[in-house]
């Protein structure tokens, strides 16, 4: 064996063994890391499924309790609502009278006073107009209105180019009921 002072091109054997070992350990480390991540995700998934099932059970219990409470309350309140409906339907609703007058008053007639008697469903209206044709038109409009049972005209006078007159209207009972709508 000759000793040479010129460096040789060959690599020592222990360096190639270290490289082989590094690759093997890197591959094994990667597999172990992936295995740990997989097991961790499986455990996390199992815990989440358990929590979801617990929450679903709680929601179901709350729904059952809520529905029972609501049903009980509804059963208790329905008779009260039916009594209230009867009371409301028997009450008078003056707004309907004003709606009726607004819709059925001729454009040239001006109402100056208004009196309502709820016991016999009568309205006494004082009105005025520039001409007698408006009086005739207003009378025919009131007589053609199905909500008005009878129309009486009185107190006709002419003062300073104004015709003044009164109407006594007897309304149908439905007009002043709370549930009735004026057409």
- 159 or 94, greater pLDDT: 159
- Per-residue pLDDT for 99 more than 90? no
- Per-residue pLDDT for 88 more than 70? no
Output the pLDDT for position 7: 61
- Per-residue pLDDT for 6 more than 70? no
Ranking 8-12, 74-78, 112-116, 166-170 by mean pLDDT, the lowest is: 8-12
- Per-residue pLDDT for 178 more than 60? no
- Per-residue pLDDT for 42 more than 80? yes
Instruction: Please state the rounded mean pLDDT for residues 43-53.
Output: 95
Q: Which CATH superfamily is domain 94-176 in?
A: General secretion pathway protein M, EpsM (3.30.1360.100)
Phi and psi at residue 4, to the nearest 5°: -125, 140
Q: What residue ranges do the domains of the chain occupy?
A: 20-90, 94-176
Output the pLDDT for position 167: 96
Output the pLDDT for position 104: 92
**For residue range 27-36, what is the model confidence (pLDDT) as tens digits?**
899 999 999 9
Instruction: Please state the rounded mean pLDDT for residues 61-82.
Output: 82
Output the pLDDT for position 142: 94
Instruction: Please state the rounded mean pLDDT for residues 108-134.
Output: 91
- Per-residue pLDDT for 10 more than 70? no
């Amino acid at each position: 064996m000759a000793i040479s002072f010129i460096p040789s091109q060959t690599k020592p054997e222990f360096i190639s063994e270290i490289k082989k070992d590094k690759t093997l350990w890197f591959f094994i480390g990667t597999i172990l890391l992936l295995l740990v991540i997989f097991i961790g995700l499986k455990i996390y998934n199992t815990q989440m499924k358990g929590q979801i099932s617990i929450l679903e059970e709680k929601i179901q219990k709350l729904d059952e309790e809520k529905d029972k409470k609501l049903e009980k309350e509804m059963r208790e309140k329905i008779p009260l609502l039916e009594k209230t409906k009867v009371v409301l339907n028997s009450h008078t609703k003056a707004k309907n009278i004003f709606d009726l007058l607004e819709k059925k008053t001729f454009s040239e007639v001006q109402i100056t006073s208004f009196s309502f008697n709820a016991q016999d469903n009568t309205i006494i209206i004082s009105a005025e107009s520039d001409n007698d044709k408006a009086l005739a038109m207003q009378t025919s409009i009131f007589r053609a209105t199905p909500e008005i049972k009878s129309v009486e005209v009185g107190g006709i006078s002419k003062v300073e180019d104004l015709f003044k007159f009164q109407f006594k209207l007897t309304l149908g009972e439905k007009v002043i009921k709370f549930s009735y709508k004026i057409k």
